[in-house]
Amino acid sequence: MVALPFWFSNLAAAGALGLFFSYTKEKAWSWTRRITGYELPFGLMLFAAWWSACDAYLPWQALGDALSLTVLIGLFYFLAAAVRSVQDFNYLLRAAFAGYALTLVCGFLQYGLANWSWPQLPAFSFLLDANGLYRIRSVFLARSGTNVFAAFLSLTAPAYLAWFWQNIAAGQNKKQRLSAVLKQILHISIFALTIFNIIFSFSRALLIALAAVFIVSLSHSKYWKQILATGLILSILAVLFIAPLQKTTRSFFDPNDASNRDHYMLAEISLRQIAQHPFNGWGGGHLNAKLKQENKRWVDLRGKYKTPEELRRNYENMQVVQKEALADGVIYIFSPHNMYLSYFLECGFLSFLGVILLVIFTWRRLCRLSGSLAYSLALGILGFAIYGLFQDSVRAPIMAYLLWFYLLLALKLEESLRGFNCLQYRKVLVLAYHRVLRPTAKNTLAVPQKNFAKQIAYLRRRKYLFMNAEDFYQKHIISAAPILNKICLITFDDGYRDNLKYAWPVLQKYNIPATVFVTVNKIGSPEPYYWDFKNQTKFSKDDLPLDWPELKRLQKSGWAIGSHTLNHYELKQLPDSAAQRELRLSKQILEKELRCSINTVCYPRGSADKRVLGLARADGYGLGFVTNSRTDDFLAFPRTGIYAHDNFGRFWLKLFLHKTRLK
């Protein structure tokens, strides 16, 4: 309960900031409908925290911990709704950088005041006082010592160093204006402060985390051998000539070092204590608690049981401390020096699983994105995850804020690259049809008209909002309007004439627009598609492609026309020049004949790789459709195919299982 005032004072400040942002935005309270992708880990952690509070030794302590977590997650969603544009994200990024730089400066000054002889300036007596600087830094890093500062560096330093290497040291900024030079000087200064604080943090766990991040980063570099050799040489020179590093590295191999022995003992004791309460834990906020039953009520003797001198005397063996505590009727819940075991110990298995999923989800989200910033943030979360294996100081209240802020950065970076509100696109159902025919027709691509009518009626009962692909693109991708309702896009591939004869009357009955993707060189052709010869020998007019007047008729009734390339070749199998010709000429011909902008494309066979997506983007397409996409690109929007063998049961199952996620 000691930490609760600090928790809530910081939450109040952050909440005021969130309110300020939100009240400047239209429909700011739509955050209640927002989906961020973190619902599963957040739900597990919340459930575990409240469950453990119901059966904790110190119920008020556990209740305060659960309430703090609830408020923090609510604040995360609130701020996620407030940041709605690239400009907002840039402000968020600048705030993160400013906080990082200020914390490094405070760390440097505090170490200098404690170890170097600096002149005393009366006007700046507070700033030049070690305690004063310690209080300033406590705004960012709570009232903990170097362990929390090292945890802060494990999350932020890898991200900044990776970004610095790719953008500043690599010389990408070639402008020589004064502002550019000053910016480089600033970043070089921050880089030097980062290295200084890493060295003088005296944290072995931080060095292990940074070494692991360095090894992982080598796998993404063409010149990994040269970088590895340079890194090893610099590391050896640093250890030889920098005394603090010598002290830190020497402790790795010292068999008499008490800290090494304590880590093993604490892990062993913690695992035994976890086994006593594996499902709901001991209760939130119970780490380092000394529990004793007095008058049929459990009390915490933290600060009362055993004097510091007695603890120092027994500190050489934690198991001795535990045995003495048990002999006095005291249950001593040790801190395991491991973030994951700490969550397991306090709130049980579900909390432990939630934390692991939180780290994994963030790592996967950042790895799917392109760009130096996403790569740098991914290395930061990796360093944080590895540091958590050796320290539980990452669970200090301020580190919870920093981690949540980091998650917010990852989420908003994803949205800024894809277009904001992109995570709501999982509400969008895109159905891919080819043909709609009379019930007696036999064709694997053709859905009987009776079944098609039942499917459309079912979708209307489910209260889907129907749009064509072009309207969807203009409203929800270009204008970034939030998606507040379930949306369904009805699409048809290839442009068969039966789309007009059998599908259009059903959709017209309910005033539902659709989209047809046509193969341009087959428009008005007297010959069926080549694959139709495998299914049938006799053909009617319904088996032929639409002609230009029929396409214009569909267009006037509210349908959108999209490109299905020029000749229906699989673009992945074509060289760049041929694939670009298929995309570019089909778009130009459609725009000329229909006198409208063509922004949507459906790739033949529903497949496209990154090369094809790049060609489509270069030709001016903004929305593309594939089958079972797992990319993060609007040009690879996934669809659910509906075919002749899909009865209503299979149709319902496909709707249930569809995943329209741009990841």
Most confident of 27-36, 286-295, 630-639: 286-295
Q: What pLDDT digit, counting tens, does each position of 518-539 carry? A: 999 989 888 888 777 776 767 7
633 vs 353 pLDDT, higher one: 353
Beta bridge partners of residue 436, listed in sequence order: 447
Q: Please tell me the distance from the alpha carbon of residue 563 to that of residue 625, in angstroms, as a whole number.
A: 10
Q: What pLDDT digit, counting tens, does each position of 223-270 carry? A: 667 667 777 777 777 777 777 666 667 666 666 666 666 777 788 888
pLDDT band for 128, please (50, 70, 90 cuts). very low
**In the chain, what percentage of residues exceed pLDDT 70?**
75
Q: Please tell me the distance from the alpha carbon of residue 585 to that of residue 487, in angstroms, as a whole number.
A: 31
Q: Under a CB-based contact definition with an 8 Å cutoff, are residues 197 and 104 in contact? A: yes
Strand 290-294 to strand 331-332: parallel, antiparallel, or no bridges (unpaired)?
antiparallel
Tokens of residue 404, six digits = 């949540």
Cβ neighbors of 203 (< 8 A, separation 6 or more) are: 146, 147, 150, 153, 248, 391
Beta bridge partners of residue 640, listed in sequence order: 431
In the DSSP assignment, the letter for residue 499 is: I
Q: Under a CB-based contact definition with an 8 Å cutoff, are residues 555 and 512 in contact? A: no
Residue 119: predicted pLDDT: 61
Residue 493: predicted pLDDT: 92
Least confident of 48-62, 128-142, 469-483, 490-504: 128-142
Q: What pLDDT digit, counting tens, does each position of 355-385 carry? A: 999 999 888 888 877 777 888 888 889 988 8
Query: Average pLDDT in the 653-657 region?
Result: 81
Residue 591: predicted pLDDT: 92
Q: Please tell me the distance from the alpha carbon of residue 516 to that of residue 494, in angstroms, as a whole number.
A: 7
Cite the beta strand spans of 68-164 per DSSP E.
none
Q: Which of 338, 322, 336 is nearest to 290 (CA)?
A: 322
Q: Please tell me the distance from the alpha carbon of residue 628 to that of residue 606, in angstroms, as a whole number.
A: 8
Q: Cite the DSSP H helix spans in 165-223.
A: 178-199, 204-218
pLDDT band for 660, please (50, 70, 90 cuts). very low
pLDDT mean across residues, the chain: 78
Class of 422-657 per CATH?
alpha beta
Q: What pLDDT digit, counting tens, does each position of 100-117 carry? A: 888 788 777 777 766 666
Q: What pLDDT digit, counting tens, does each position of 470-519 carry? A: 999 888 877 767 777 788 999 999 889 999 999 999 999 999 999 999 99
Residue 277: predicted pLDDT: 87
Residue 63: predicted pLDDT: 87
Do you know the residue count of the chain?
663
Long-range pairs for 208-213 at CB < 8 Å and ≥24 separation?
208/386, 208/387, 208/390, 209/154, 209/158, 209/383, 209/384, 209/386, 209/387, 209/390, 210/154, 210/157, 210/158, 210/383, 212/382, 212/383, 212/386, 213/158, 213/162, 213/379, 213/382, 213/383, 213/386
Residue 632: predicted pLDDT: 58
Q: Please tell me the distance from the alpha carbon of residue 633 to that of residue 613, in angstroms, as a whole number.
A: 8
Strand 623-627 to strand 637-641: parallel, antiparallel, or no bridges (unpaired)?
parallel
| Number of CB atoms found within 10 A of residue 304's CB | 10
pTM for the structure as a whole: 0.62
Residue 35: predicted pLDDT: 63
Tokens of residue 648, six digits = 């209503």
Q: Please tell me the distance from the alpha carbon of residue 525 to that of residue 547, in angstroms, as a whole number.
A: 8
Most confident of 87-96, 332-341, 474-483: 332-341
Most confident of 1-5, 84-88, 533-537, 602-606: 602-606
Q: Report the b/e string of 572-609 with b at 16+ CB within 10 A.
A: eebeeeebbbbbbbbbbbbbeeeeeebbbbbbbebbbe
Least confident of 21-25, 336-340, 590-594, 641-645: 21-25
Q: Where are the domains of the chain?
A: 31-257+338-418, 422-657
Beta bridge partners of residue 429, listed in sequence order: 488
